[in-house]
Amino acid sequence: MQKLAEYLIKHLIVDFEGEMDDKLLESLAGDDDAGRRLVAKIREEGGFDDFIVDFLDMLKMTHLETGINRDVVVKELREYAESD
């Protein structure tokens, strides 16, 4: 049973419902300094599509077992925006 659980978690796909693009991201995140830094970092690093794939993979790999909630997502977004 452990192997099955590990396999299912490893191959789980995390995705968003609905349309999300850089314009929506900017309108939702760009209302404060941290959000503007995040948007700038995403543009600098290759764009929204690359960011969202990497971000969802990171959430799955590091927080799936302990839970993904608003505080976790905010923390990870801030860490991404402030990383070198």
Residues in the chain: 84
In this prediction, residue 23 carries a pLDDT of 87
**What dihedral angle (degrees, nearest 10) is formed by the CA atoms of 53, 58, 59, 64?**
120
Identify which of 59, 51, 47 has the alpha carbon closest to the alpha carbon of residue 14. 59
Which pLDDT does position 42 carry in this prediction? 92
Per-residue pLDDT 10s for the chain (84 aa) are 788 778 877 888 877 787 888 888 889 988 889 899 999 999 999 888 889 888 888 888 888 888 888 899 999 999 989 887
